Amino acid sequence: MPTIIPTDRNQMTFMTSLDDMVTPDHPVRLIDALIDKIIARDTEHFDHLAPQSSVGRRGYSAAALIKLYMYGYIHGISSSRKLEAEATRNIEVIWLLSGLQPSYKVIADYRRDYPDQIQRVNEQIVRFLADSGWISGERIAIDGTKLKAYTGWDMIDGDRLDAQLAKSHRQLEQWMKQLALNDCQDEVDELDGDDPDGGPPSEILQQIDKLHEKIRRLEGLKEELDRQGTTQISPADSEARLMKSARGGKYPAYNLQTAVDSAHKMIVVGAATQEATDFELLEPMVWAATGRLGREPAEVLADTGYADLGDIQRIQRQGTIRCYVPENDAPKTNRPITFDYKPETDTFECSQGRPLEPVAKGRYNKTKDVYMDHYRGTDCTECPVAGECTKAADGVRTLTVFHGAEWREQYRQQLTSRYGRERIAERKALVEHPFGTLRYWMGQLPLKLRGLKKVQTEIHLYTAGYNVKRWSGLATFKELLDQVTRWTPGKMPQAA
């Protein structure tokens, strides 16, 4: 059966230019144009690797390395060695870098040594998306996920550190004794007229050096453990924290927090934290998103893990933001007895129509660090449901109301309204999408760096890659390129 005849490998061919190898509307051209636009308006910030003298080879530009990383993270490639290979065989990368072929060490060193430049690019991409209307900033959803640190699964505690230190000191003492015996033998050989062997064996000195280095490392881990005030530490990444997995078990990890805009599910903020839970992270994430956008979002959505009512109250009172975060201790709705507050008389009325009057106001509870009011029933003795309402010996119901209860009731009504229920249901569809997409591209979001600051650099690359890839499919190539051409990068706004 006849088949298509391939081209002879020895046949000479002519290529007009490298640009002809990439189609005019290829998405890689958007990456090139966007990064060039960001860097061209801030060349001083991205000036790096320029030798101070004419001696030595010239360095690669920040633009080339950022484009390479952007392409890699969009296409599920985060390894510097794999990126090096792509620069030699992938025609899209060859075009993007204009034929440059940086080594894996240059690629890895840039990610490690210039986190501020990568952060700047990520921030400006968010600013571009906001200026172009792809990020509205009206409603953001916040959520977190655990990322396993680039280290083993084992964590070490203070007792194990002490045991390893004691063992290392014993081994060092033994090797030092062996070294002293060798020195004595050399002196005896000299007295007998024999030629000494020229000093202790190199193996002994190597073992001593290794033990000294191990002791220094263990002592450093012990100091770091004491400084952090934690009970366990990862030997390879001392800044990782032991966290629970959603599938059970614990491992050294970082808590990735994201704030996602509702318009097109773009990531406004991605932050790596050391907090094992989300409980205290709502307020920092809201103000981080405000700083990134330059204004407050109108609405914030989150799950019950963020339900710190103190944070929610401060957020709503300090600005114009409305929070839709379900309470994790919401009261049961099927209780037989309910109480309604009557502000005109400062009394409560139970569902049986019997009043409760104030008996103590503004008492301070040191354990809960709150002030409270106490109300007591005035007509409970003849109530038919008194046995269900209270277990007090006198059969009279006492109601304790914490200060702020009025706001809490208003907030509860905000959540249980039809609009509030719709927002709570919407949250999962918004914020889970980026996590699922990134895991689809990259697997389990593998981290290649260690330490909180370096991990944050990787998060900037992940979020920037996600946003650019999502943006590239929202309109035609010409429309998107025109947006880049018209856009004028500016300074990032500061949070109020």
pLDDT digits (tens, 9 = 90+) for 423-461: 998 998 888 888 888 888 777 677 888 888 999 999 999
Residue 221 CA to residue 235 CA, distance in Å, equals 7
- Cβ-count burial 208-247 (b if 16+ within 10 Å, e if not): beebeebbeebeebbeebeeeebebbbbebbbbbebeeee
Strands lying side by side in the sheet with 347-350: 339-342, 347-350, 355-365, 370-377, 398-402
Mean pLDDT of 267-274: 92
User: Over 50: is that where the pLDDT of 196 sits?
Assistant: no
pLDDT of amino acid 494: 39
Residue 186 — pLDDT band, cuts 50, 70, 90?
low
Residue 262 CA to residue 112 CA, distance in Å, equals 32
By the 8 A CB rule, do 457 and 119 touch? Answer: yes
Assessment of whether the complete model's pTM goes beyond 0.95: no
Does residue 177 or residue 158 have the better pLDDT? 177
281, amino acid identity: L
- Cβ-count burial 324-355 (b if 16+ within 10 Å, e if not): bbbeeeeeeeeeeeeeebeeeeeebebebebb
Q: CB count, 10 Å around CB of 496?
A: 11
Residues 6, 10, 16, 19, Cα dihedral to 10°: 70
